[in-house]
Amino acid sequence: MQGTQRILDFLANALMAIGAACILLMMLQVMAEVVLRTVFKLTIPGTEETVSAYYMIGCAFTPLAWVQRQKGHVMIEIFTLWMKPRQAAAMDGVVYLVCAVAVGIFAYAGFTKAWAMTLEDEILIGSIDVVVWPSRWLVPAGLILMLAYMVLQAFDELRFAILGGERSLAATPVAH
């Protein structure tokens, strides 16, 4: 499981870096657009299209696996606070599997849409034409990696619930 986790961690970090780059590039481009429009009455052609088709998709979907690795998604523990650790682990394992099914459905839908838009060579027509089909692949990439973490974490929780001992996967601490 350690080898699998190392590969997933590498991929999650890579997608997180893409998400961070999207945030930075979006900030710089929008700031430049505002300054140019305000001071010089000029615009950067394709800003709206690039922001909506690339940067926002990158910001929203590429960090999903990294957040799942940290176990940083919203969890409502009011129902499991009274449970013993192994009972709570069993509940968490089942919830991870149910969520993995839902994420799998979303990933499949994202994959089929990305494939269809790739075949159509999708573009967004605005002030300039922007090729957007490559950004469609960020959605299934983020979701599939999130799904992999959910399955890995589900098996780890269920193994702990059934066999006890130590969990082999801990939430990777975030460096501050």
Residue 171: predicted pLDDT: 54
Q: Establish if 22 belongs to a structural domain.
A: yes
Please report the pLDDT score of residue 164 as a whole number. 85
Position 176 scores a pLDDT of 39
- Rounded Cα gap, residues 31 and 48, in angstroms: 12
The reply to whether 111 falls in a domain is: yes
Q: In this predicted model, what pLDDT tens digit does every residue of 82-120 receive, in sequence order?
A: 889 999 999 999 999 999 999 999 999 999 999 999 999
104 domain residue, yes or no: yes
Domain span at 60: 2-163
Distance CA 85, CA 49 (A): 49
Q: Residue 173: is its pLDDT beyond 80? A: no
Report pLDDT digits (tens) over 32-59: 999 999 999 999 999 999 999 999 999 9
Q: How many domains does the chain have?
A: 1
Q: Is the whole model's pTM more than 0.85, yes or no? A: yes
Model confidence pLDDT, tens digit, residues 73-85:
887 778 788 889 9
Does residue 155 belong to any structural domain of this protein? Answer: yes
